[in-house]
Chains A and B, each alone.
Chain A
Amino acid sequence: MKKKVLSAVLSAVMVMSLSACGNSASETQSTAASAAPAAATSAAAATSAAAATSTAAATSAAAATSAAAAAEDKIDATGETLTVWMPPFASADGSITDQAFWERELKPIADETGCKINVEIVPWDSYEEKYTTGVNSNEGPDIGYMYMEMFYDYIHNDQLEDVDQYFTDADKSNYLYYDLGNIQGGQYGLPVVVGNPRVLIGNMDILSKAGITAMPTTWDELVTDCKAVMEKEPDVTPLAQAWGNTHFGVLNELFWPYFWSAGASIVDADGNLTVDTAQGLEAAQFIYDLRYKDNILNDSCTSTDGDAALSNFKDGKVAFEYEATGNATRNEGINWSYSILAAPEGGAKTFVAADCLVMLSSCKDKPLAAKAMKLMTSTDVMKRFHTEVSSQMPITKDEEIAADDPFKDLYANDGDKFQTLPVFEGSAEFYDYFYKDLQSMMQGQMKPEDVLKDATDYYNSNIKE
């Protein structure tokens, strides 16, 4: 009997504990539910307020100035928390971590307003997933960092704030690339990392042994130089291409520079995909020929990732590779130079990042967030970011390019060769599919024309709503 009583009591305890959990959850849910409409109302109010301000700004410069001035005013944010999500840029052996850098740089805001700053560094390999789940569950940041592939859905789901009203004309005029944040008809981004252009890097010691004295500037010269390296330095890989990368972002080095040089564009003004053109085919065919006609790329290119390519270049085993300028500056001990290639009938073009700070619509204290965004993109902070964390192009007129920056000439003179990715529906999904098709092409399973046609058909039938 005692056992029965004991077991009944234990069962009751278990059930009660679960019920308690359930109750607690219900309460939380109920609180969340009651908070949600409030938040929605507040968000709606904020949106309508923003829209109103925006409309007013269009008709009255005074209103905009007033909103921007409000962001300049002293803000009391005691008890509030400003959450900032940033990606990692600092190298593992760098002098400071990204986390420490942004916490240090945002401290003045915390001191001035009394708010608490919560900086979170989001790893690149789960970047989009973190934003998707975080933002959609109302656990996202107040200030985030987005690249072009991410914008479309957040804008069309009203999850990003048009920040134009928080910036005065003087603010705007000091930014070099403010307009790059004007996306889909609104200022949804504040460009912060503009640059990191992809360039062809060459090991000049290897090249000189092959009788080459200058970096190639056209596709044909690249092929000729690679063949010379293959002949004179058979143990050296003439051109490293990381087709083994697991993420489509590597297209920024492997494909888009050739694609744009050939005169092709990814989408037209109406957002229709335009990769399947004669110019697009020229670029795909060139890459295909590097592998199957000229034998410059071997079959291990589909297993080589970006880290391996960079490491092999640093070890002096590779003559040429495409690299982001931010990474290229870490090629210490190598006598290297760079160039941007031009297609036979086209101009020299390459990818450049235009990553932006964004203010999420769910942000409760928007003037505070705007103030923080201004601080983060201010000349002083950016100078320190570019020297301590990652060498990039300046984004403000006040910041000068460092005299010893190896890409000083590139930044100063070659702006017309830089191109950013367009913002269009389902871009990330398209890039992933397209990249996989190109990988198949590099294994000889698809022809260049089939890749362009298949990717276009897939986009139109499966991705675009």
Chain B
Amino acid sequence: MSRKTREAFEGYVYIIPSFIILLIFYIIPIFMSGYYSFTSYSLVKAPRFVGLRNYMKMLTDSYVLAAIKNTFIYTLVTVPFQTILALLFAAFLAMRFRNWFGEMIRSAMFIPVIASAVACGAVWAVLMDTDNGLLNFILHFFGAKGINWLGSSQYALISICIVAIWKNVGYFLVIYYAGIMGISRDLFEAAEIDGASKWQEFRLITIPMLKPVTYLIVTLGIIWSFQVFDLSYVMTGGGPGKSTVTLVMDIYNQAFKGNGKMGYASAIAMVLLLFIVIVNLIENRFFKPKEEV
């Protein structure tokens, strides 16, 4: 065995454990789901091949169409807001509070990340209660009219987006903060000597140097957003009307409630997978930094 072959063999030995896990828990289920999406399958009865029927049914299913629309709106709202807020908070803390206070703020903002989404949803549902909630109490205190946060189709999805942003921003803040700390101080000192303002430093040094981090954060944000389920399930159950139904909620309902339509649920899951792949391909094409991360 040549040295090159031996090294390659050793490499494969190292990746085999991870590969087996990926194979069992990710790759095989994806292919199984793909197969089931072409069947009528209800867990109890053997799958029966139905061709494209599940996919055709989706085209006229107002529930699925509403879920697709809501999932895209949710993604379009949460991803930009949580990315920008995390960047601003991280830059502010890195510039002004590289001390115990900054650490405390970072830790406090990370608490929602480790808290259960179900618990967060339940607490926010109370805070957003139209008649007795804290948010409307504050609005009334300042003379403003209360908002029907979760009871109106107009606001319900946005309310869930607000909670999601609140929950996620701490995680992305920590990543951004680490990225900012990794930028060489020389660049900022040189900019200061050249008379650059703080805003120019942020715009012309910090943001460009964080491009690989931003790429990671946007990618994660998009994937998480497409998978939104728990907050919507706990806070509104998909209502009022179909205003907060999401794709994953529909997959869950189809698979585990009522008839247990695993075949149809698998078809919706494959569409979700397709959306995520397409969006990430677009992102890769236009936003992926040229250098390797």
B-binding residues in A (CB < 8 A): 4, 7-8, 11-12, 14-15, 18, 22, 128-129, 132-133, 136, 153, 157, 159, 243-247, 299-304, 308, 312, 425-429, 432-433, 435-437, 439-440, 442-443, 445-446, 454, 458, 461-463
Question: Is B152 touching A436 in the complex (CB atoms < 8 A)?
Answer: no
Which of B21, B150, B241, B253 gathers the greatest number of chain A CB atoms within 10 Å? B241
In the bound assembly, the distance between CA atoms of A18 and B61 in angstroms comes to: 43
**In-complex Cβ contact of A436 among B10, B14, B132, B239 (8 A):** B239
Q: Is B153 an interface residue (CB 8 A)?
A: yes
Q: Which B residues touch A159, using CB under 8 A?
A: 44
A-contact bits for B248-273, CB 8 A (1 contact / 0 none): 00000100111110000000000000
Q: Which A residues touch B62, using CB under 8 A?
A: 454, 458
**In-complex Cβ contact of B131 among A4, A243, A304 (8 A):** A304
Question: Is B129 touching A303 in the complex (CB atoms < 8 A)?
Answer: yes
Q: Which B residues touch A301, using CB under 8 A?
A: 151
In the bound assembly, the distance between CA atoms of A435 and B240 in angstroms comes to: 9
In the bound assembly, the distance between CA atoms of A12 and B258 in angstroms comes to: 46
Which of A129, A247, A442 gathers the greatest number of chain B CB atoms within 10 Å? A129
User: Interface size on B (CB < 8 Å)?
Assistant: 42
Please name the residue on chain A nearest to B16 by beta carbon: A15
Given contacts A15-B13, A157-B42, A244-B240, contact A428 B151 (CB under 8 A): no
Please name the residue on chain A nearest to B236 by beta carbon: A246
In the bound assembly, the distance between CA atoms of A299 and B149 in angstroms comes to: 11
Nearest-Cβ distance from residue A251 to partner chain B, whole angstroms: 13
Q: Is B148 an interface residue (CB 8 A)?
A: yes
In the bound assembly, the distance between CA atoms of A129 and B265 in angstroms comes to: 14
Q: Which B residues touch A8, using CB under 8 A?
A: 10, 13
Q: Is B34 an interface residue (CB 8 A)?
A: no
B102-156 interface (Cβ within 8 A of A) = 129-132, 148-153
Q: Which B residues touch A439, using CB under 8 A?
A: 239-241
Apart from A132-B43, A458-B62, what are 12 other A-B pairs with CB-CB below 8 Å? A11-B13, A128-B258, A153-B42, A153-B259, A299-B130, A300-B130, A308-B129, A308-B131, A429-B257, A429-B258, A440-B241, A461-B60
A-contact bits for B219-246, CB 8 A (1 contact / 0 none): 0000000000000011011111110010
Please name the residue on chain A nearest to B256 by beta carbon: A129
**In-complex Cβ contact of B152 among A11, A12, A14, A299 (8 A):** A299
Q: Is B203 an interface residue (CB 8 A)?
A: no
* Top 10 A-B residue pairs of the complex, sorted by shortest distance between their CB atoms: A303-B151, A246-B237, A440-B241, A302-B151, A428-B258, A136-B43, A429-B258, A300-B130, A439-B240, A303-B130
Inter-chain contact count A-B, CB under 8 Å?
129
10 A-B pairs, CB-CB below 8 angstroms?
A12-B13, A18-B20, A22-B20, A128-B257, A132-B257, A153-B42, A157-B45, A244-B150, A432-B257, A446-B241
B133-187 interface (Cβ within 8 A of A) = 148-153
Question: Is A303 touching B149 in the complex (CB atoms < 8 A)?
Answer: yes
Question: Is B257 touching A428 in the complex (CB atoms < 8 A)?
Answer: yes
- Interface of chain A, main secondary structure: helix
Q: Which B residues touch A462, using CB under 8 A?
A: 57, 60-61, 63
Q: Which A residues touch B63, using CB under 8 A?
A: 433, 458, 462
Nearest-Cβ distance from residue B9 to partner chain A, whole angstroms: 10
Q: Which A residues touch B13, using CB under 8 A?
A: 8, 11-12, 15
In the bound assembly, the distance between CA atoms of A8 and B42 in angstroms comes to: 45
In the bound assembly, the distance between CA atoms of A462 and B59 in angstroms comes to: 11
A-contact bits for B75-107, CB 8 A (1 contact / 0 none): 000000000000000000000000000000000
Nearest-Cβ distance from residue A26 to partner chain B, whole angstroms: 12
Please name the residue on chain A nearest to B44 by beta carbon: A157
Q: Which B residues touch A244, using CB under 8 A?
A: 150-151, 239-240
Question: Is A299 touching B151 in the complex (CB atoms < 8 A)?
Answer: yes
Q: Is B195 an interface residue (CB 8 A)?
A: no
Please name the residue on chain B nearest to A439 by beta carbon: B240
In the bound assembly, the distance between CA atoms of A14 and B233 in angstroms comes to: 39
Given contacts A436-B242, A440-B242, contact A300 B257 (CB under 8 A): no
Question: Is B242 touching A18 in the complex (CB atoms < 8 A)?
Answer: no
A-contact bits for B45-64, CB 8 A (1 contact / 0 none): 10000000000010011110
Q: Which A residues touch B259, using CB under 8 A?
A: 153, 425-426, 429, 463
Q: Which A residues touch B241, using CB under 8 A?
A: 436-437, 439-440, 443, 445-446
Question: Is B45 touching A443 in the complex (CB atoms < 8 A)?
Answer: no
Q: Which A residues touch B148, using CB under 8 A?
A: 299-300, 302-303
Nearest-Cβ distance from residue B49 to partner chain A, whole angstroms: 16
Question: Is A300 touching B20 in the complex (CB atoms < 8 A)?
Answer: no
B1-26 interface (Cβ within 8 A of A) = 10, 13-14, 16-17, 20-21
Q: Which A residues touch B61, using CB under 8 A?
A: 462
Question: Is B237 touching A247 in the complex (CB atoms < 8 A)?
Answer: yes
Q: Which B residues touch A435, using CB under 8 A?
A: 239
Question: Is A129 touching B130 in the complex (CB atoms < 8 A)?
Answer: no
Q: Which B residues touch A432, using CB under 8 A?
A: 253, 257-258
Q: Which A residues touch B258, using CB under 8 A?
A: 128, 153, 426-429, 432
